[in-house]
Amino acid sequence: MRRLLAMLVAILTPVAVQAEEMTYGAFSVERFEHHFESGLARVDISANYGTDEHQFVANLESELIDSDSLGELQLLYSRPVSAYFDLQLGVEVSNHSSSSRTAAVIGIEGTAPYRIETEAQLVVTKDGDVVGKFEIERDFLLTQSFVLQPRIKFAVQPGSSSLLTELRARYEVTRKFAPYLGLSWEKPYGDAAADGESTAIAGLSFWF
Res 25: pLDDT: 96
- Given a contact cutoff of 8 angstroms between Cβ atoms, the answer to whether 109 and 86 are in contact is yes
Averaged pLDDT, 142-155: 97
C-alpha–C-alpha distance, residues 134 and 92, integer Å? 16
SS3 195: coil
Q: What is the pLDDT of residues 37-67, one digit of tens each?
A: 989 999 999 999 999 999 999 999 999 988 7
For the chain, domain boundaries? 24-207
Q: Tell me, which fold does domain 24-207 have in CATH? A: Porin (2.40.160)
The DSSP 8-state label assigned to residue 114 in this structure reads G
The CA–CA distances, whole Å, from 91 to 44, 57, 155 equal 17, 11, 17
Does 75 score more than 50 pLDDT? Answer: yes
